[in-house]
């Protein structure tokens, strides 16, 4: 919950999109954080806890789904045009999502993902023979 003064500031500075329905006005802050650092490219390798590469992992910036990549067969990924303080998310079916705050212009992140056994109980595979 925000104070009225901060909501008014967001509205009056034009840094929010406004929408209205019946008796409600909704002010939404932009999805992307203000840019305060130069853009750079992040690369890395994604592995499981045994060190095996994980292909097909989705790597993206939280709050900006247009900035995303998929790890290749060797678990490598490249994510261009990122900034400090953005949150990098790595997600893969059957594994816990990894969240990393980008900082200090660091360009390489090697990510180890941990299995999430509770998710595996929810997956159902159906096959049909013809």
Q: How far apart are CA 114 and CA 109, in angstroms?
A: 16
User: 61-102 pLDDT, tens per residue?
Assistant: 988 888 999 999 999 999 999 999 999 999 998 899 999 999
Cα 84-101-6 angle, rounded to 5 deg: 75
Q: What is the pLDDT of the chain when averaged over all its residues?
A: 81
* Tokens, residue 73: 């067969």
Q: pTM for the complete prediction? A: 0.64
The percentage of the chain sitting over the pLDDT mark of 70, rounded to a whole number, equals 67
Segment 97-113, tens digit of pLDDT = 999 999 988 999 999 99
Range with the poorest average pLDDT among 17-21, 53-57, 126-130: 17-21
Residue 116 confidence (pLDDT): 85
Give the phi and the psi of residue 90 in degrees, each rounded to 5.
Answer: -120, 120
Number of residues that make up the chain: 130
Q: What is the pLDDT of residue 33?
A: 52
């Amino acid at each position: 919950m925000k104070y009225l003064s901060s909501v008014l500031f967001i509205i009056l500075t034009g840094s929010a999109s406004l929408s209205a329905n019946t008796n409600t006005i909704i002010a939404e802050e932009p999805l992307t954080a203000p840019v305060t650092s130069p853009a750079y490219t992040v690369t890395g390798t994604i592995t499981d806890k045994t060190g095996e590469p994980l292909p097909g992992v989705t790597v993206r910036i939280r709050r900006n789904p247009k900035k995303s990549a998929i790890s290749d067969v060797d678990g490598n990924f490249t994510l261009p045009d990122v900034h400090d303080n953005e949150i990098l998310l790595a997600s893969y079916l059957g594994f816990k999502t990894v969240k990393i705050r980008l900082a200090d212009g660091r360009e390489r992140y090697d990510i180890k993902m941990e299995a999430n056994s509770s998710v595996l109980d929810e997956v159902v595979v159906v096959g049909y023979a013809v």
